[in-house]
Structure 1
Amino acid sequence: MFPRLPVMLGVLLAVLFGLVGRVLADEVCAIDDGGREVCLAAPAQRIASLSPGATELLFASGAGDRLVAVVDHSDFPPEAVKLPSVGSHDRLDLERLVTLQPDLVIAWVTGNPAEQVERLERLGVPVFRIEPRDFEGIATALERLARLAGSEAQGRQAAERFRQGLAELAARHADAPPVPVFYQVWDSPLMTVNDEHLIGKVVTLCGGVNVFGDLSRLVPRIGEEALLAADPEVLLAGGRGEENRSWLDYWRRYPDLTAVARDNLFFVPPSLLQRPTPRLLEGSRLLCEKLEVARGRR
């Protein structure tokens, strides 16, 4: 009675499966640093970054034009300063963030308030958590963020430039004479890093020996007496800001400290070493140069 029904049904099924296939083809997925797979129906168009480091990574991965929100101190690249701020990394303005309607939020694993991030997820906002702990983690973060933003070519290129630059530094300093180093993260309380910390890995890359590298905590607190006893040949510090070298001046009160006696008190802008971004390569080059200066003063 309805001879064309099977044909029509076949056409409808073909269209249906075609639409499903197209949706699946558009879906993008990536594993975050919390070990969870995050999938989006299509590349993100409105991204919120909840740390200055994530902001840099997004711009470097080609997703800067998709950013609609950042947090305080997101100062690189210069374009980031113009974006709406949704509070600080440790105290988010969720109401303002939600009104900006992000379709993807990039969170900091240990730096953002867990309860606020979880609330975003309960509201249905996809959250991708990052916290690179080594060089390869930075490279893959670029690639994964680019995947979620639909800028894979640029992310892949940025990751390869980073890998290649670090490989060249490693080869150049592979046989360099070791230099005992102290890196100061903070002044009060006095804080440093161990060998598992990303900065500690940079020290090792450049042929340095972190005098507190064996401590168990990533960012241990130490006493001034412990530093004097370790007597590092080089003292490196970032400071409170990109140009503030006051931490180095403090140590000049100890003229018998080897680093002071040889004038091996070196400053590296903190954003170049303390953010897990491609600019770590620039910071690594500077740190390696400082250790070469120290070797020449022996």
Structure 2
Amino acid sequence: MVIRWACWACCCLLLCFAPSVAAARLVVLAPNLVELLYSIDAGSQIVGTVEFADYPEAAKQLPRLGNFQGIQLEKIIALKPDLVLYWRSGSKPQDIESLTRLGIKSVGFEPQQPADIVGLLKHLGELTGQQQKAQTLAKQTEQRLGALKVYQQGRTVSVFYEIWHDPLTTVGSNDWPAQALKLCGAVASPALTTAYPQVSIERLVATPPELLILPSSVNEPRAHFDYQQWPALSKLPQLTVNADLLHRATLRTIDGIEQLCQGIERLRHQAR
């Protein structure tokens, strides 16, 4: 009798501490999450996503279920997902509320800085049953971010990071690109706390930065502000960076930050 009770108790403990079943069918409402899922070998579990989920190449073949303006609930219901993953600030609250009312489980993410990619990888690994690959990549990411400290030992460089040219828009001190700048020992100028603020060209001329950073997408090249018509800005060095790498919280973000840091470091050496 005692032995039978002990066996029953052990079974209960195993059930209590057993990992939850991995989600086999995922709807993913953010391009960066799609990319990270492919990175941890969970891409085959994605059954639908949104526009602009274009990396890796296999992601382009996934069914499209909406964009930043809203999602198509009927299509999501038809796909019968085990779990919906979304970007909190990039999704409409009413869409997520609708999913909840329909009994569809969802998990939201909101990475604030590049270091958050480490935890993001681990969480996605747990949700998909790909813990081992996710843990390996998380450790590698941590090491690569740690290696960037070498760039923070030099002189702080002031930069103007152009998000958009008309109206002229830059980054606030808490925005994602500004966090990348900090890792490179640089600071956004002018120093503003508003998220992605618009700035007047007069303000930029009054306190010119040392470097102009111009993000550009490989797939969607875009125009930039014409700084040449302003004498105080016309001779400033310009650094073109890959927005596809820098502006999405993925493993490629680290590639983009390394390239950004190298460009800023070249300016430091030239200024000596």
Same fold (TM over 0.5): yes
- Report the counterpart of residue 173 of structure 1 in structure 2: 151
For the 8 Å contact 2:65–2:72, the answer to whether it is kept is yes
* Per-residue CA distance 1:187-209 (angstroms, 9 max, x = gap): 22222112222211111111212
- Report the counterpart of residue 271 of structure 1 in structure 2: 244
Is 1:199 aligned to 2:172, yes or no?
A: no
Query: Taking structure 1 as reference, are residues 288 and 21 closer, same or farther at Cα in structure 2, changes over 3 Å only?
Result: same
Letter in 1 for 2:186: G
Of 180, 193, 197, which aligns to 1:220?
Answer: 197
Query: Counterparts of 2:207 and 2:42 in 1: how far apart (Å)?
Result: 44
Query: Which has the higher mean CA deviation after the structures are superposed, 84-93 or 71-80?
Result: 84-93
Structure label with greater radius of gyration: 1
The alpha-carbon deviation at position 169 of structure 1 amounts to: 1.2
Query: Counterparts of 1:255 and 1:175 in 2: how far apart (Å)?
Result: 32
Letter in 1 for 2:177: I
Of 63, 66, 70, which aligns to 1:87?
Answer: 66
Is 1:291 aligned to 2:267, yes or no?
A: no
Of 128, 139, 142, which aligns to 1:163?
Answer: 142
- Report the counterpart of residue 229 of structure 2 in structure 1: 253
Q: Secondary structure at the match of 1:209?
A: strand
For the 8 Å contact 2:34–2:53, the answer to whether it is kept is yes
Letter in 2 for 1:182: F
The two structures, once aligned, show a CA RMSD in angstroms of 2.3
Query: Counterparts of 2:251 and 2:105 in 1: how far apart (Å)?
Result: 25
Of 189, 196, 218, which aligns to 2:167?
Answer: 189
For the 8 Å contact 1:61–1:143, the answer to whether it is kept is no
Structure 1 ranges of 4+ moved more than 4 A: 10-17, 20-23, 240-243
Q: Which stretches in structure 2 are left out of the alignment for 5+ residues?
A: none
Q: Which stretches in structure 1 are left out of the alignment for 5+ residues?
A: 1-6, 29-41
Query: Counterparts of 1:67 and 1:230 in 2: how far apart (Å)?
Result: 48
State TM-score, norm by structure 2. 0.90
* Per-residue CA distance 1:11-52 (angstroms, 9 max, x = gap): 79967984x656544443xxxxxxxxxxxxx11000111011
Q: Secondary structure at the match of 1:107?
A: strand
Letter in 1 for 2:243: P
For the 8 Å contact 1:51–1:74, the answer to whether it is kept is yes
The alpha-carbon deviation at position 221 of structure 1 amounts to: 1.8
State TM-score, norm by structure 1. 0.83
Is 1:280 aligned to 2:253, yes or no?
A: yes
- Report the counterpart of residue 210 of structure 1 in structure 2: 188
Query: Counterparts of 2:22 and 2:155 in 1: how far apart (Å)?
Result: 48
Query: Taking structure 1 as reference, are residues 155 and 253 closer, same or farther at Cα in structure 2, changes over 3 Å only?
Result: same
For the 8 Å contact 2:113–2:180, the answer to whether it is kept is no
Query: Counterparts of 1:160 and 1:267 in 2: how far apart (Å)?
Result: 29
Is 1:237 aligned to 2:210, yes or no?
A: no
Query: Counterparts of 1:94 and 1:226 in 2: how far apart (Å)?
Result: 45
Letter in 1 for 2:270: R
The alpha-carbon deviation at position 121 of structure 1 amounts to: 1.3
Query: Counterparts of 1:198 and 1:51 in 2: how far apart (Å)?
Result: 16
Q: Secondary structure at the match of 1:246?
A: coil
Query: Counterparts of 1:158 and 1:207 in 2: how far apart (Å)?
Result: 25
For the 8 Å contact 2:42–2:128, the answer to whether it is kept is yes
* Per-residue CA distance 1:240-261 (angstroms, 9 max, x = gap): 654625316x22222431xx31
The alpha-carbon deviation at position 57 of structure 1 amounts to: 2.0
